[in-house]
Copies of this chain bind each other. A is one copy, B any other.
């Protein structure tokens, strides 16, 4: 086996919604009430119910030279076309040897929490359904066998969540993007039983909860004058705080076949954390009354939690202390941690020491099984490898493009960029 033989499925990428996304998917008489693209200062942004969402790029910097990775793109002119155009996206996936992808939303936020603030909730429900329809038909449907469809829900209304989950399941959606901690947005907790009807549908339909870092409780910005690097380092592992809640919640005891994916959470810290969870259970359960029946917390984790990584050599050296049957890969295109267009090179270097069977599980087998994604009958397995995909992408120019523009906290004099500067930029 060599790098070109890898088959790679990414369970965490992002789509920048294209300008015309709602045109075909909103009822015609409501189209003028759908979110629409407007000009904000020097850039493009969305407007919905009079509110403006300027930073639509969310650090969509793929394809720039590394010294321009701090830019916050302000318009479509500032970003690589593959971020929002499906043909260009497929080219970029091919150039990077990526067979399949789960694409999280951008302007609605990862889990669609933007619409929690909607004044007209009936309208917002229709917008969410239109969003999902676009995602299924206008994005994933344009490239059969290349995407695992994901949906967002009208989170303020549990019955509407259930109805939309059922509806999109019939459209082939395999996973719902859900907040890491709903109480962070004022919603009922995962311990309350409020969400049980949704979990019941998702378990029945075989849909995975995709829980992206920063979808609810983001890692706290450190001291304002701290290097921004500190925040970047901390982001993935911060999901441990929420993961522990899910682990000790009633959710997976009530719905033992339901799965949750910790999107962008990394894997190398997980064995420590599972040992800590088991220690806590053993040492404290007599007074806390935590109850895992005949299991340990680490065993429930191995049954219900899907992990993923971008680049995680330590984690891949310790697959014996994780559950190799639920480790998956992610590319994070087009965000700044992505290794596009050289993701296969980094992945191969960190995984080649493992047995082929384990490599196949981690690179694609686990994702295909858990998200019920079966591209081989559509595309032919021989066309799904890194080598085969890249052979079809010889026309794709992957060289870094400088000077695309956008808002930039970086500086010519080489001063350390601080967390406060970046926070201000995102708040602008």
Contact = CB atoms under 8 A, between A and B. Distances in A.
Contacts of A24: none
Please give the count of copies of this chain that the complex contains: 2
A29 interface: no
Interface string A220-238: 1011111111101110111
Interface string A253-283: 0000000000000111101110111011101
Interface residues of A, number: 78
Given A289-B415, A416-B290, A227 B241 contact: no
Contacts of A226: 189, 191, 245, 248-249
A227 B292 CA distance: 12
Contact of A290 (B192, B227, B266, B271): B227
B266 A269 contact: no
A266 B272 contact: yes
Contacts of A336: 283-284
Contacts of A237: 237, 240, 269, 272-273, 276
A200 to B, nearest CB: 20
Contacts of A275: 268, 312-314
Most chain-B CB neighbours within 10 Å: which of A217, A228, A266, A269? A269
Contact of A272 (B224, B284, B315, B410): B315
A312 B67 CA distance: 39
A411 B286 CA distance: 11
Interface in A180-229: 181, 183, 189-192, 217, 219-220, 222-229
A280 B67 contact: no
Interface of A: 65-71, 181, 183, 189-192, 217, 219-220, 222-230, 232-234, 236-238, 240-242, 244-245, 247-249, 266-269, 271-273, 275-277, 279-281, 283-291, 311-315, 317-318, 321, 336-337, 410-411, 414-418
